[in-house]
Every structure is written in structure tokens, then in C-alpha cells.
Amino acid sequence: MEETRTVDVQALINEHPFSRFQWLVFAMCFVIVLMDGFDTAAIGFIAPSLLSEWHSGKAALAPVLSAALFGLASGALLSGPLSDRCGRRVVLTVSVLLFGVSCFASAFAQNLSELTTLRFVTGIGLGAAMPNAVTLMSEFSPDGRRATIVNLMFCGFPLGAAFGGFLAAWMIPQFGWRSVLLLGGAVPMLLAVVLALRLPESIRYMVSKQKPTEKIRNVLVRISADAQFAHAFVLQEGVKRTKEESKGGIRIVLSRSFIVGSVMLWLCYFMGLVIFYGLVNWMPVLLKDAGLTPQRAALVSALFPLGGAGTVLCGMLMDRFNPNRVVAAAYAFGAVAVYAIGQSVGNIGLLMCAVFIAGVLVNTAQASMPALAAAFYPTAGRGTGVAWMLGVGRFGGITGSFLVAELTRQQVSLPGIFTVVAIAGTVSCVALMIKQAVSYNEAVSDLPDGESLAH
């Protein structure tokens, strides 16, 4: 009888078209990531006004600029285990409220010390929001389109940062620098109310935690009416399960079955941010020292962060081919392009091409990593796995800035600096290939004959 059906929730999601309800979840997660990008970049937009109003030197601004990075790492590392224990919905809603309130409060800071503290708290909220948005969206997506959908959602981050720049350029002369922070705080606070009222809990999470059947049915029926006839729900994981799965996300991420893959994901994302922050923070200075005018150096450097256009295409390739190899290839070619930047300084045309291509490849690879991590871990450890990769990786951003600073202090040549930075891309590529090899070998040895692999 239909009333006694047992439904595999992921199979049902895979078999039905992407519903209006899933698009609603996507829209909410997209706006979260959009505001994450806006608030992360906000301090850079208002920095010149801060220096002018508070009569401070550039060195005094360093703690403010770095506070959010440490907050981002802390928020990601803390929120992952909480998400796997308490649920995606509550952690995501609270994190959005936290970075909204703290960003709003930052508009009333009276000195750099207060602003530094508030930026750290804002960073905690931002760091917690991003991985949980990725995790929730991945768990509402069909297997065959998961990477494409998650990567499309992730495009909200650079859009938010870029949109914030245009808004700040208009708002600061009209209303002052505090208005940027007021807007960056007010929108997430309103969004948190919407999330509390409309955001559903992950179906996969509820099944893994054996929540009441009625709660699962109430959500799943909004994707497919077929769910109304089910009396029980199950979840067939596409990734290998472990005996630690019932003991929490941290044990899964660090278990024997996943530890090598986890470390390789951390290393890969860390090295990718070494490239990104090292070049974003230092490329204008390096190109100016190489003989370009300040205006031309800034223009050429701006091509690098703009190069995230390939993210959705990469997601489509990840859904169709082996995702580890697709992202590894992006890092490998990105490393070649970064190396080429150092060899092209004498030719402005080649230089602009090299910077843009490096930006496309490196940013595409980095933006694809959350989807890769979400597909690697089982539901019970997915929140921790994605969050810890993002959290550990944040320290790569800090390392990248210090690395290029030290190379400059040691008077390494411009081609030499870009060669060293390019090595980080090669390391990321190798890390993903090791993850692919180990994951495949372990899956083959542990799964029965005939069972498909989707690691």
C-alpha cells in the first residue's frame, strides 16, 4: 500500500525537478552569501575614511583589517560541530543575526580598539554563516546538479563584495563611512527574521538524527507530493559510512576513513588562499615597483579578483566528471598562470591576460572547494567537514600576506616572488590528487561488489 511506503529522501530529491521550494532555499542562502561578501569587504571600503577621521596611520589599521580574518577562522571552526549537533537551520540563523548586529554596532565605534573588537565578532558570524549555507544548500540539491547549484550560490560572495564597492563609493560621500556599516548590519538582521520564519531544516540532517516522521514529511512534501504517502524515511549515503558516525562530526572528520581526505582538503584550501590574499594584497605594490604607474598597477591588479566567472562552469564539469580532478586541473593551470604573471611584466598586454586568466582559474578553484567538501563527507559530519576546511584555510590568507611581505623584504625578484606563490597552486593540485587516490582505494576495499561509488 502507498501509505506504508519507505522513502529514500535523496533518491526522491534526485528524481524530481528542482522545485519552487528548493529555489526559495537557494534564494535565502544566496542572500546570506551575498551579505557575507558585502560585510567581509566593507572594512576595505571605509578604511581611507577611517584614517582621515581618526587621524591614524596605516600601521594602526592593521589590527582592524586582520581581526575579521581571525574571526572568520574561529567562527568556521566552532560552527561546524555545532551544526552537526544542533542542526543547520538554528546555527545559520544565529550566525546571520550575529554578524548583522555586530556590523550594525560597528557603525557606532568611537575608536580603532572598539572597531577591532566588533570586527572580530562580525568575523565569527561571517565565518559561521558561509559553511552552513553551503552545507544546507548541498543537502537540498540533487546529486547530479549539486556542484553546479552550490557554486552558483557561492557566486553571491564576489557579487556582494563588488556591489558593496559601488554602494560605498556612492554612500560615503553622501552619508559618511558609518552608513556602509549600518546597511551591512541592517540587512542581515532583517534576513535573520526571514530565516527564523521560513528557512527549513535540512531533510538529510533530520533523517540522520531520526527526527519525527511528520517533521520530515512536512518539509519533503514541499519538494514532491509523493512524500505524503510515506510512513518512514531513510537516507542512503553516497559516501562511505564509519562506525564513528553516531558520535559526532569531529570524530567523523578525524576518523581513519576521512582523515587523509580532510587534511588534503585543508591543505588545498589553505594554499589557494595563500595565492589569493598574497596577490590581492600585494600585486598593486609589486607592479608599481616593477615600473607601472600607480593607476595602471591598480587597474591590472583589479583583474585578478574579478576572475570568478568560471565558477558555474566548473560546477557543471564537477557534476559530469570526477570533481577532484576537475578542481585539481584548475589549480594546476592556475599555478602556470600565476608563474606567467612574473614573466610578463615587460608586456602590458600579456600581463593583463596572465592576471585575468590566473584570477579565473584560482578563484574558480577556490569557489568550487566547498561543494567538493560537501560531497566528500556523510550527512552526520558534513557541517564540520565544510566548516573546518574553510576555517583552516583562512589562516592561508594570513600566511599569504606575510609570505609576500617577507619575500619582498628579502629582495627576491618579481619573477621569483610569483614563482614561489605559484608553487602553492601546485601543492593544491597534488593534495586533491592524493585525496582522490586514497578515497577511491578505501571505497573500493570497503564497499560490496556492485555498489556504486560517489565519493
Confirm whether 24 is domain-assigned. yes
Assigned domain for 234 exists? no
Q: What is the pLDDT of residue 243?
A: 53
CATH number of the domain to which 74 belongs: 1.20.1250.20
Note whether 117 and 14 are same-domain residues.
yes
Task: Find residue 17's DSSP bridge partners.
Answer: none
- Residue 50 confidence (pLDDT): 76
Q: 10-residue block means of pLDDT along the chain (455 residues)?
A: 67 87 92 84 73 71 76 86 86 93 91 88 90 88 86 82 75 86 92 93 85 86 81 69 58 85 92 85 76 74 68 84 92 94 86 88 88 85 86 84 82 89 94 85 44 35
Question: Is 275 in the same domain as 214?
Answer: no
Asked if residue 263 and residue 147 are part of one domain, the reply reads: no
β-pair partners for 37: none
CA quadruple 434, 436, 439, 445: dihedral positive or negative? negative
Domain that holds residue 440: 245-446
Total tally of structural domains belonging to the chain? 2
Say yes or no: 125 and 258 in one domain: no
Please indicate, yes or no, if residue 228 is contained in any of the structural domains: no
- Domain boundary residue among 220, 236, 260? 220
Contact 290, 414 (CB under 8 A): yes
Residues 274 and 336 in one domain: yes
Q: Which of 203, 220, 237 is the last residue of a domain?
A: 220
Judge contact between 335 and 425, C-beta under 8 A.
Answer: yes
Q: Is 7 helix (H, G, I), strand (E, B) or coil?
A: strand
78 within domain boundaries: yes
Q: What is the pLDDT of residue 247?
A: 56
Kindly state whether residues 212 and 340 are assigned to the same domain: no
Out of 161, 186, 220, pick the residue that ends a domain.
220
pLDDT at 121: 93
Task: Write the CA distances from 141 to 10, 138, 316, 379, 391, integer angstroms.
Answer: 9, 5, 13, 13, 24
Is 11 inside any structural domain? yes
| Whether residue 191 is found in the same domain as residue 261 | no
The closest alpha carbon to 335, from 430, 257, 249, belongs to: 430
Note whether 203 and 256 are same-domain residues. no
Residues 182 and 275 in one domain: no
Residue 171 lies in a domain: yes
Tell me: do 40 and 158 sit in the same domain. yes
